[in-house]
Amino acid sequence: MHIDFLRDVFRRSSDKEAVVWLDQTSSYAWLVDAVETWTGFLRDRRLAPGTVVSLEADFSPTAIALLLALVNEGAIIVPLTPSVEAKKPEFRKIAQVEATISISGDDRAQLVNTGVEATHELIAGVRSAGHPGLVLFSSGSTGTSKAAIHDFVPLLEKFKVPRHSLRTLTFLLFDHIGGVNTLLYVLSNAGCVVTVPNRSPDLVCAAIEKHRVQLLPTSPTFINLLLASEAYRHHDLSSLEVVTYGTEVMPASTLERFHRLFPRVRLQQTYGLSEVGILRAQSRSADSLWVKVGGDGFETRIVDGMLQIRARSAMLGYLNAPSPFTADGWLPTGDAVDVDGEYLRIRGRQSEL
């Protein structure tokens, strides 16, 4: 029900490559069948709608199919990748995880009931709506990780508008709002999800060359690593059309050097937060740090030099912290910005300036 629009896309694109994993390809026809198979598995295991399930995996064919099956079955999904291995017990406890699905290195899945009963009022709210949910943890770089809970239905809405079909490398993590956004964007436009076993510059460049990747969503930190390693010199990156970057402030020197080395690649700044999702963004130019953010379902305003966002896809709240929203529904992002007409320049977190 919730992913019917995606299934329609998949069926119309049945012969196209959907996922590349360990250099093996899976088609959209395979993905349709896999989602059905895992839906049957969840029903056989009597996984009720509204069950809080941790999906412990990185990008893989099974992880993608299971995520879609869980959304369709109305589960509240807590994606957890190996990058947070040490924190998994803490995160399961905060999210009141009732069942875990772990996916092994050979892409096999195992479901285990935890015996926990989720009682948080925000979880109860998602259940009463009859909608799937999504719980994402912040990095916790400034303290304890916060657990943002979303109604998954508003997050899906923007992907019903057709956009460009691109072969895309999944650099951002499976349990990061950017990774979830990348996955849904690619699948909703019948693009190809190209996975990598790790995110080193050489492996990323090799995957771009081998699988003719067109879009690389990444971070300024990785772009710096790429330039410093000079891995790009050893691979054919001519297929690459767009590099999007977010998650942190881009140094002007890095932007200038990248643009000089890759003049044909469009460099596009993005902006998003676990609390509100990913906004549509338009850079003033490929070599500019000024960006216009917003899009359907998003509003922005500047209060005392700080960016605030109001979004239809905003989280319902935190499972382990007070609501950060203002009385009229705006999220203070904590990001200081400069303003030039419709364009913003993100200066960074107020605490870091």
pLDDT surpasses 50 at 215: yes
pLDDT at 130 over 70: yes
The amino acid present at 189, given as its one-letter code, is N
Given this model, what pLDDT does residue 155 score? 95
What is the pLDDT, as a whole number, of residue 353? 38
pLDDT bracket for residue 350 (50, 70, 90): low
Exposed / middle / buried, residue 153 (Cβ in 10 Å: 0-12, 13-18, 19+) = middle
Please give the mean pLDDT across all residues of the chain: 94
Q: Which domains does the chain have, with CATH numbers?
A: 45-153 (3.40.50.980), 270-353 (2.30.38.10)
When comparing pLDDT for 286 and 327, which is higher? 327
pLDDT at 226 over 70: yes
pLDDT greater than 50 at residue 352? no
Residue 287 binned pLDDT confidence (cut-offs 50, 70, 90): confident
Contact 294, 325 (CB under 8 A): no
Asked if the model's pLDDT at residue 351 lies above 70, the reply is no
Q: What is the dihedral of CA 258, 348, 81, 30, to 10 degrees?
A: -60
Token representation of residue 255 = 């932007």
Instruction: Tell me the C-alpha distance between 106 and 62, whole Å.
Output: 10
Predicted confidence at residue 348, as pLDDT, reads 78
